């Protein structure tokens, strides 16, 4: 019994409460011609067969032709290419044949998403093996894929799949097994009575190139049907179309701000596999219930001995450029996927601390007051944000001179306390001749054009606006220059950027976005790249922040829209959520899903953007949000102020504690961010990623893992008395607050505490902390560490610590400290997990370990011996947590004061 | 360019750290002063070590020995063993700040690279060098404190005077009130008697009139009939006019609702409308935005909220109605005036007060020292009058009748003035004017301040408003004093679009004159303002300030010793 998790990015969840979401302003499948057409097609209706199958230039190539092509209308063949890459990735491309009469237009392939290193991992296919399957009736061509796996193309009807090696090897993933493949080739002219235009509400899409959609079915094997949450309307496919949805429903399959057309499946018996279609046009994906195609079982030759989930992928334009990931572990799939689209960038250390935002901190005085209040209440924060109102009339890169007369001084004052600021820069440019960005962009022709070739003019915050054409690298480079200190007047090195509205949001456009027939660089229609627009904008902005420091420092850019690869450029957040418990609840699956698609650095607005959270909800949100990879409080300008000190002494204390938990765990988080950067494995993970064979974890998305060592369970209801938490695996778990041990593989009903949500350290792990609290993470740099060792049943544990300068790209040259801590046989060892020699780029740190906490030790030793120094230190009873009142006492090695950079062992005597 | 500077600085920081780290790990020595960061109140607590090798953490959770005191490791979760280091997150660090006032810091500020104590004692690990700025800072603080004390000294006097004045005024008003009540007691029956008499006279007159009319009717029947015909026509015309008028007024105002049907909108309107979902602004009445004129545009998108437009329209509508009312109901005019008198009580003259001079002067004839004489006069007159016209003759003596009527009109007008004065005085005296009635002078007063294009007007015990041009937005009605009479609260103002009702809090500070400043809107539609007033210059606070200054001054010689 396994279940695949649809990793179609964003919200798959629960409960109906659609308030303001204007459903009828957005298209459903029936109002979307290509979706409607694709869904009306019957299984087995694809008549294409593979011909001329051969090996060429290390790829398998073939032509797809109709089995019976008619004389009067000879169909043009399609070209199919299969390539294999290291580490179990198969790539399938299908496009029109460019060698034939040149088509009217080349179909769009999404540039700058696949990382160059991936292309170097290509395996040069040498050999093609032909085999007859299904009783010798059907010919298939087989190529090697990776150890134990093969890629297969069946010729008639054509089907592409990955299987375990051998003629009877089990299928893993397949395409067109249900015969739903369809590829609308571009035509020269309209056929009679064919209407290419499309109307939706007041907008008309001219569609000058006619229908050009692609659809096909993909099957995931040894996986069960994914349970969609109750309330999700099964009649609608998941829609991948980046949209700015006002007061979005948390339970809808409709499109939101970002799209990642990547699906992971997971089952107990075989494990995980994944499928990714690199395509930036509107996509719709159906996940079928079992038995949906029973009436066609005679025409289809599907294996009956394997459980299977069928899906239908439909896109409005583009080509087939699909990737099959063989897994078999959940982490393998993420690693394989991020080998194609890149891993998460390593953020600067300040960026993973707490951010304070509001639409809007009104003026400099307001900024200073808020900053001072944090200090007054001993609440740390690292970044203060300014929303759109800080600009001069929504002209980005400018300041309202009345409200922010001295922006540099303001930033410097905050920087003196180690704090940063963020300003917002959106892609809509005010059409104002006196605005230099507009002037340059219009003179250079850098705007997206409308279908008539004029600069597209849409309505957004700045009123009548045009949109920078970010798909063009030259324009991105021009945009990046705008972030230099000379160009962005009033910016300082402590200023970072927030990209909003980059779906793009166009208030008076179709579905609050850009018309699909708008034109980009190279005559690419907007429909072909819509979902990637925000990605390119994010990319260009991040480039700008790198450039302004001559490539020395890591950028920080938060983006609302995202696409495969966004993880390389910065953080994303779940957009304009609402201050209600359902949105708190859904924030977990949303951020977990983002993590599965490689976008590790994400979070939801603490408190909910729209509406006023009651105090309890706000406190619970801080308690949960402290574990989001991206941790930011934000609020709409119609809401009441909600800075943590505004709700009475007790609630201030509760929120302060929640934020302090995050600061305490920063060394652990930073180590996890580095892991995500190196391997793609997300910072927060669904339980099944760590416990892939524990079925009870498969549908659990209310608890999650932070790394492999911490399990966090949110509290999602008001005045909760109790909270149930499932602790997976065979080992026990230690309550992070009380230190008490809980059995694994069991549901525990716990008392819901006011001052924290349940969190547990997994036995067998070592978690690094910094227990001293400062104004911001900046001042914690030299503070000593605490190691918390939670012993498993064999009295051993291990963990890691990664440290670098927290700022520059030097770590890429090996300038970092990476330690592995192992505890076994009563001895803790610190060894190097990084490069043996870092050469000139050695990162130096004098930081020491001030405290080692031992959980699960049955003896009560009094001393420990540190080697090689041969120094004895005391073991005493000390507090598990230094804050939050008198807590339990735990065995503590007092002041070992060993340097984190060194090799050492500590023997418990 | 600046950036390189910063980088250098950081590298430099690392370098220092390196050296420091070596010395520290080699020495690993306790602090030079084991009692660093200990406040004077806690010195006794640590004297425990003179009698015992271990003392208890303040929260009793544990014991620690002398070597654990300030050894940069947190043994007590309440921080009692680490007053001088950052090891305990719950700890507090005390800096003497000789020459200035002592400061208690969160432990998190110790050795964090930022100078918090003016004597620099919080940064002792060598990574950050802090200059001792206590002398300058102390001087500035003392000067500031002295100024504040000076204000208080003067303010306390002013406050006392205010309170004295208030006591006198209240006593006077209470006296007046009881006198007015007495007068009312006397005048009321008189007016009733006069009314009775007046009605009797009128009855007789009416009978007389009817009799004469009958006779004349007979005589002029023919002509009358003719006249009537023409008159009827006129009336009909007039009636039509009125109906027309009503018709115009009754027309509902333009539909304010944002229709969900966006089909018929221009592209720009559509853009504005969608934007308005996030901003909560109304879009219907947006003026055309001229993109080429940045200033105007800025105003339009940022400041010119549509609520204001809406209000203006609302006002326009009301005033139109008022005008109409005025035309129709001339008779009600006098009643309106009486109402005004009752509600708008502007009795106490102050600089920023606006007197309703009509009411005040009107009233002067019944108030004041001559009060009793006019009442006696009336009593006498009425008595004579009633005696004189004991028996009615028919027809009524015309001059007598006029006399009675006049007397009735005058005395009933006086009675209603007295009654409304009684009600306003009662209302005023029932207000919470502060424990010492120090807010007496606020009654009937308004304080104004202009901020950008808005004029904020705070009228204690009444309401707070925001005025922009001809448009007034109510920020709240008087609710109460809060926070021991340090805050005035106004609630239930005009509703914000998509938000709460507006409200305002006015924080009160000691100052030499009543002055409204610093209006702010920290949350949307929740306003804040500061009001300086002598009413807040309390003796006890003055004493606190003086004590503080004394203690600051005491530290001075010590500082000189150190220097």
| 8 A C-beta contact, residue A33 and residue A249 | no
Dist. CA A250–CA A590, nearest whole Å: 10
Domain assignment present for residue B232? The answer is: no
For chain B, say whether A22 makes contact (Cβ under 8 Å).
yes
Q: What angle do CA B68, B74, B75 make, to 5 degrees?
A: 65
At A98-140, the pLDDT tens digits run: 887 766 789 999 999 999 999 999 999 999 999 987 677 789 9
Average pLDDT over residues A483-512: 96
User: Would the pLDDT of A461 be above 90?
Assistant: yes
For chain B, say whether A872 makes contact (Cβ under 8 Å).
no
Structure tokens at B36: 């660093």
Number of domains into which chain B is organized: 3
Domains and CATH numbers, chain A: 8-341 (2.60.40.1760)
- Averaged confidence pLDDT in chain A: 92
- B-contacting residues in A 642-681 (Cβ below 8 Å): 660
Place of tokens 């030097």: A810
Average pLDDT over residues A603-614: 96
Facing residue for A782 by CB, picked from B17, B267, B275: B17
| 8 A C-beta contact, residue A506 and residue A436 | no
Are the Cβ atoms of B292 and A434 closer than 8 angstroms?
yes
DSSP 8-state symbol, A606:
B
Domain assignment present for residue B151? The answer is: no
User: Would the pLDDT of A432 be above 80?
Assistant: yes
Query: Of B448, B430, B450, nearest to B440 (Cα)?
Result: B430
User: What's the predicted TM-score (pTM) here?
Assistant: 0.82
- A-contacting residues in B 194-223 (Cβ below 8 Å): none
Average pLDDT over residues A82-95: 97
For chain B, say whether A201 makes contact (Cβ under 8 Å).
yes
Domain assignment present for residue B202? The answer is: no
Same domain, residue pair B16 and B2 = yes
Query: Of B536, B526, B538, nearest to B442 (Cα)?
Result: B536
Q: Which residues of A are identified as catalytic?
A: 500, 503, 576
The H-or-E segment that residue A596 falls in is helix A581-596
Whether the complex's predicted ipTM surpasses the cut of 0.85: yes
Quickly list H helices, B473-538: none
Dist. CA A313–CA A320, nearest whole Å: 11
Provide the phi-psi class of B484: left if phi over 0, else alpha when psi is between -120 and 50, else beta.
left
Facing residue for B297 by CB, picked from A463, A637, A876: A463
Q: pLDDT at position B294, please? A: 44
Q: pLDDT at position B389, please? A: 57
Average pLDDT over residues A425-438: 97
Q: A20 vs chain B: nearest CA distance in angstroms?
A: 9
Domain assignment present for residue B509? The answer is: yes
Q: pLDDT at position A220, please? A: 94
Residue of A nearest to B267 (CA): A508
Residue of B nearest to A408 (CA): B2
Instruction: Supply the CATH number for residue B511's domain.
Output: 2.70.130.10
Average pLDDT over residues A3-29: 49
| 8 A C-beta contact, residue A267 and residue A3 | yes
Facing residue for A463 by CB, picked from B77, B289, B496: B289
Dist. CA B145–CA A233, nearest whole Å: 68
Last residue of a domain, one of B75, B103, B132: B132
Query: Of A583, A505, A565, nearest to A255 (Cα)?
Result: A505
Facing residue for B18 by CB, picked from A247, A844, A876: A844
| 8 A C-beta contact, residue A587 and residue A574 | yes
Burial B169-192 (b: 16+ CB within 10 A, else e): bbeebeebbeebeebbeebeebbe
What are the chain A neighbours of B273 within 8 Å (beta carbons)? 507
Same domain, residue pair B11 and B88 = no
- A-contacting residues in B 282-341 (Cβ below 8 Å): 289, 291-292, 294, 297-298, 301-302
Are the Cβ atoms of B2 and A485 closer than 8 angstroms?
yes
**Any idea which of A197-201, A212-216, A788-792 has the lowest mean pLDDT?**
A197-201
Q: pLDDT at position B204, please? A: 81
**Which residues, in sequence order, are CB contacts of B506 under 8 Å at separation 6+?**
B458, B464, B487, B488, B489, B490, B516, B528, B529, B530, B531
Dist. CA B167–CA B144, nearest whole Å: 33
Are the Cβ atoms of B271 and A508 closer than 8 angstroms?
yes
Are the Cβ atoms of A895 and B496 closer than 8 angstroms?
no
Structure-model confidence comparison of residues B354 and A323, the more confident one:
A323
- B-contacting residues in A 237-256 (Cβ below 8 Å): 246-247
Residue of A nearest to B90 (CA): A883
At B195-220, the pLDDT tens digits run: 888 888 888 888 888 888 888 888 88
Percent of chain A, pLDDT > 70?
A: 94
Beta bridge partners of A62: A80
| 8 A C-beta contact, residue A290 and residue A268 | no
Same domain, residue pair B42 and B9 = no
Q: CA distances (Å), B346 to each of B159, B431, B445, B446, in order?
A: 21, 15, 7, 10
Domain assignment present for residue B454? The answer is: yes
What are the chain A neighbours of B268 within 8 Å (beta carbons)? 459, 464, 508
Q: pLDDT at position A252, please? A: 77
Are the Cβ atoms of A508 and B127 closer than 8 angstroms?
no
Between strands A759-762 and B503-510, the pairing is: unpaired
**Any idea which of A204-218, A531-545, A648-662, A670-684 has the lowest mean pLDDT?**
A204-218
At A339-348, the pLDDT tens digits run: 999 999 999 9
Dist. CA A280–CA A262, nearest whole Å: 12
Q: CA distances (Å), B476 to each of A333, A459, B388, B442, B454, in order?
A: 60, 36, 58, 17, 16
Q: B69 vs chain A: nearest CA distance in angstroms?
A: 14
Place of tokens 């892991």: A675
pLDDT-derived band at A250 (thresholds 50, 70, 90) equals confident
- Containing structural domain, residue B485: 440-548
For chain A, say whether B89 makes contact (Cβ under 8 Å).
yes
Dist. CA A142–CA A153, nearest whole Å: 7
Query: Of A256, A263, A319, nearest to A286 (Cα)?
Result: A263
What is the secondary structure of A188-234 as a DSSP string? Answer: SSPPTT----EEETTEEE--TT----EEEEEEEES-----PPTT--T
Domain assignment present for residue B197? The answer is: no
Site from A886, A892, A893, A899 to mutate, B interface, most B CB atoms within 10 angstroms: A886
Domain assignment present for residue B474? The answer is: yes
Are the Cβ atoms of B74 and A636 closer than 8 angstroms?
no
Q: pLDDT at position B237, please? A: 56
Facing residue for A508 by CB, picked from B20, B78, B270: B270
Same domain, residue pair B51 and B105 = yes
Low-confidence ranges of chain B (pLDDT < 70): 1-32, 222, 224-264, 281-373, 385-398, 498, 555-563
Place of tokens 């480039």: A543
Q: pLDDT at position A249, please? A: 80
Domain assignment present for residue B453? The answer is: yes
Structure tokens at B449: 């301040």
Last residue of a domain, one of B108, B132, B156: B132
Q: pLDDT at position A451, please? A: 93
Same domain, residue pair B22 and B35 = no
Handedness of CA B94, B97, B102, B108 (dihedral sign): negative
Residue of B nearest to A512 (CA): B274
Same domain, residue pair B60 and B5 = no
Between strands B463-468 and A171-175, the pairing is: unpaired
What are the chain A neighbours of B265 within 8 Å (beta carbons)? 202
Dist. CA A764–CA B496, nearest whole Å: 56
Last residue of a domain, one of B83, B104, B132: B132
Same domain, residue pair B78 and B107 = yes
Are the Cβ atoms of A638 and B301 closer than 8 angstroms?
no
């Amino acid at each position: 019994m396994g279940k695949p998790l649809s990793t179609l990015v964003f919200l798959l969840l629960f409960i109906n409460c659609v308030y303001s979401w204007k459903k009828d302003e957005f298209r459903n499948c029936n109002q979307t011609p290509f979706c409607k057409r694709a869904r009306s097609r019957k299984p087995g209706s694809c008549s294409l067969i593979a011909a001329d199958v051969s090996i060429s230039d290390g790829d398998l190539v073939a032509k797809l032709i109709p089995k019976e092509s008619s004389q009067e209308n000879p169909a043009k063949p399609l070209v199919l290419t299969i390539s294999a890459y290291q580490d179990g990735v198969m790539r399938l491309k299908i496009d029109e044949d460019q060698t034939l009469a040149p088509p009217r237009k080349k179909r769009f392939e999404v540039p700058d998403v696949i990382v160059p290193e991936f292309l170097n991992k290509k395996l040069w296919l040498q050999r093609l093996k032909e085999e007859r399957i299904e009783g010798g009736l059907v010919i298939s061509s087989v190529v090697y894929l990776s150890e134990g796996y093969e890629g297969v193309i069946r010729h008639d009807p054509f089907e592409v799949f990955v299987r375990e090696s051998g003629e009877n090897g089990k299928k893993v993933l397949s395409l067109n097994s249900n015969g739903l493949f369809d590829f609308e080739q571009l035509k020269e002219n309209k056929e009679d009575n064919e209407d290419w235009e499309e109307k939706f509400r007041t907008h008309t899409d001219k569609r000058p190139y006619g229908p050009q959609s692609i659809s096909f079915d993909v099957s995931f094997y040894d996986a069960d049907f994914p349970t969609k949450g109750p309330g999700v309307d099964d009649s609608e496919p998941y829609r991948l179309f980046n949209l700015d949805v006002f007061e979005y429903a948390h339970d809808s399959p409709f499109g939101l701000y970002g799209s990642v057309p990547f699906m992971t499946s997971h089952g107990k018996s075989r494990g995980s596999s994944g499928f990714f279609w690199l395509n930036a046009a509107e996509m719709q994906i159906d996940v079928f219930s079992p038995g949906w195609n029973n009436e066609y079982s005679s025409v289809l030759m599907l294996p009956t001995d394997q459980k299977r989930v069928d899906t239908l992928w439909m896109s409005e334009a583009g080509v087939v450029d699909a990737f099959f990931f063989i897994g078999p572990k959940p982490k393998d799939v993420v690693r394989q996927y991020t080998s194609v689209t890149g891993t998460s960038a390593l953020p600067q250390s300040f960026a993973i601390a707490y951010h304070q935002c509001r639409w809007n901190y009104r003026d400099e005085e307001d900024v200073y007051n808020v900053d001072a209040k944090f200090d007054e209440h001993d609440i740390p924060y690292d970044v203060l944000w300014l929303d759109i109102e800080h600009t001069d009339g929504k002209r980005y890169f400018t300041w309202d001179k009345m409200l922010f007369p001295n922006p540099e001084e303001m930033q410097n004052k905050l920087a003196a306390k180690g704090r940063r600021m963020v300003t917002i820069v959106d892609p809509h440019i005010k059409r104002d001749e006196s605005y230099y960005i507009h002037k340059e962009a219009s003179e250079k022709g850098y705007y997206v054009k409308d279908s008539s070739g004029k600069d597209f003019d849409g309505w957004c915050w700045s009123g009548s606006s045009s949109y920078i054409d970010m798909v063009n690298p030259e324009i991105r480079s021009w945009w990046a220059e705008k972030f230099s200190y000379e160009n962005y007047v009033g910016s300082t090195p402590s200023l970072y950027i927030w990209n909003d509205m980059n779906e793009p949001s166009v208030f008076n456009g179709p579905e609050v976005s850009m018309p699909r027939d708008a034109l980009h660089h190279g005559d690419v229609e907007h429909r072909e790249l819509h979902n990637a627009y925000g990605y390119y904008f994010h990319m260009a902005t991040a480039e700008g922040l790198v450039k302004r420091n001559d490539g020395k420092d890591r950028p920080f850019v938060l983006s609302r829209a995202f696409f495969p690869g966004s993880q390389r450029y910065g953080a994303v957040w779940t957009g304009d959520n609402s201050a209600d418990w359902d949105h708190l609840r859904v924030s977990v699956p949303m951020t977990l899903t983002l993590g599965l698609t490689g976008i590790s650095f994400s979070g939801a607005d603490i408190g909910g953007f729209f509406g006023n959270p009651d105090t309890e909800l706000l406190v619970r949100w801080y308690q949960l949000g402290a574990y989001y990879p991206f941790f930011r409080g934000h609020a709409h300008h119609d809401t009441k102020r909600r800075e943590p000190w505004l709700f009475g002494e007790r609630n201030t204390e509760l929120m302060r504690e929640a934020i302090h938990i995050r600061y305490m765990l920063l060394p652990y988080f930073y180590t996890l961010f580095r892991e995500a950067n190196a391997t793609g494995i997300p910072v927060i993970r669904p339980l099944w990623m760590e416990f892939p064979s524990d079925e009870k974890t498969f549908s659990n998305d209310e608890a999650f893992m932070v790394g492999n060592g911490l399990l966090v369970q949110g509290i999602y209801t008001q005045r909760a008395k109790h909270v149930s938490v499932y602790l997976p695996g065979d080992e026990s778990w230690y309550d992070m607050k009380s230190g008490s041990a809980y059995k694994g593989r069991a549901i525990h009903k716990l008392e819901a505490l006011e001052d924290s949500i349940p969190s547990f350290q997994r036995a067998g792990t070592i978690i690094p902390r910094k227990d001293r609290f400062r104004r911001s993470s900046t001042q914690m740099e030299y503070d000593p560490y605490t190691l918390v060792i939670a012993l498993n049943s064999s009295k051993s544990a291990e963990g890691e610590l990664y440290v670098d300068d927290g700022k520059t790209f030097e770590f890429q040259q090996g300038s970092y400290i990476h330690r592995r801590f192992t505890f076994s046989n009563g001895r803790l060892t610190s060894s190097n997990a990084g490069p043996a020699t870092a050469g000139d780029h050695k990162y130096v740190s004098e930081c020491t370990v001030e405290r080692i906490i031992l959980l699960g030790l049955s003896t009560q030793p009094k001393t420990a011996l540190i080697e090689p120094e041969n120094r004895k230190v005391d073991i005493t009873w000390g507090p598990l947590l230094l804050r939050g009142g008198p807590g339990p006492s735990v065995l503590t090695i007092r002041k070992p004061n060993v340097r984190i950079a060194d090799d050492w062992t500590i023997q418990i005597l | 360019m600046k950036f390189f500077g910063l980088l250098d600085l950081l590298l430099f920081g690392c370098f220092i750290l390196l050296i420091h780290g070596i010395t520290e790990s080699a020495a690993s020595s306790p602090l030079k002063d084991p009692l660093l960061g200990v406040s004077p109140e806690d010195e006794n607590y640590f004297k425990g070590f003179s009698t015992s090798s271990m003392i208890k953490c303040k929260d009793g959770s544990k014991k620690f020995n002398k070597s654990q005191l300030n050894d940069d490791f947190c043994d007590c979760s309440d921080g009692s063993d680490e007053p001088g280091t950052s090891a305990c997150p719950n700890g507090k660090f005390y800096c003497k700040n000789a020459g200035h006032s002592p400061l208690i810091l969160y432990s998190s500020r110790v050795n964090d690279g930022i100078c918090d104590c003016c004597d620099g004692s919080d940064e002792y690990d060598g990574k950050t060098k802090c200059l001792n700025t206590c002398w300058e800072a102390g001087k500035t603080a003392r000067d500031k404190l002295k100024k504040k004390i000076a204000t208080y000294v003067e303010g306390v006097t002013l406050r006392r005077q205010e309170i004295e004045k208030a006591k006198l005024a209240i006593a006077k008003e209470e006296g007046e009130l009881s006198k007015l009540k007495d007068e009312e007691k006397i005048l009321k029956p008189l007016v009733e008697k006069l009314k009775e008499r007046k009605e009797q006279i009128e009855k007789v007159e009416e009978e007389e009139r009817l009799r004469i009319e009958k006779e004349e009717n007979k005589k002029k029947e023919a002509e009358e009939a003719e006249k009537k015909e023409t008159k009827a026509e006129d009336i009909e015309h007039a009636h039509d006019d009125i109906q027309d008028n009503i018709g115009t007024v009754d027309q509902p105002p333009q539909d304010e609702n944002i229709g969900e049907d966006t089909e018929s909108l221009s592209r720009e309107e559509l853009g504005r409308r969608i934007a308005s979902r996030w901003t909560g602004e109304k879009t219907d009445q947006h003026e055309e935005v001229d993109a080429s004129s940045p200033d105007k545009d800025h105003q339009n998108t940022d400041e010119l909220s549509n609520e204001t437009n809406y209000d203006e329209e609302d006002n326009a509508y009301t005033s139109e109605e008022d005008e109409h009312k005025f035309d129709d109901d001339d008779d009600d005019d006098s009643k309106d005036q009486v109402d005004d008198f009752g509600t708008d009580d502007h009795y106490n003259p102050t600089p920023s007060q606006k007197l309703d001079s009509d009411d005040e002067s009107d009233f002067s004839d019944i108030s004041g020292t001559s009060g009793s004489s006019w009442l006696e006069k009336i009593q006498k007159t009425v008595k004579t009058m009633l005696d004189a016209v004991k028996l009615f003759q028919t027809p009524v003596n015309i001059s007598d009748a006029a006399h009675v009527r006049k007397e009735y009109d005058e005395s009933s007008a006086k009675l209603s003035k007295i009654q409304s004065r009684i009600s306003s005085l009662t209302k005023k005296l029932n207000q919470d004017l502060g424990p010492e009635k120090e807010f007496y002078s606020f009654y009937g007063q308004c304080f104004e301040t202009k901020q950008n294009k808005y004029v904020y007007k705070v009228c204690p015990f009444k309401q707070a408003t925001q005025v922009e041009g001809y448009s007034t937005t109510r920020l709240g009605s008087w609710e109460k004093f809060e926070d021991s009479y340090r805050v005035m609260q106004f609630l239930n103002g005009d509703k914000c679009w998509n938000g709460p009702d507006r409200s305002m809090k006015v924080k009160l500070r000691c100052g030499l004159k009543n002055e409204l400043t610093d209006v702010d809107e920290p949350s949307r539609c929740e306003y804040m303002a500061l009001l300086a007033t002598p009413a807040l210059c309390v003796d006890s606070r003055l004493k606190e300030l003086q004590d503080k200054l004394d203690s600051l001054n005491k530290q001075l010689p010590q500082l000189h010793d150190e220097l």
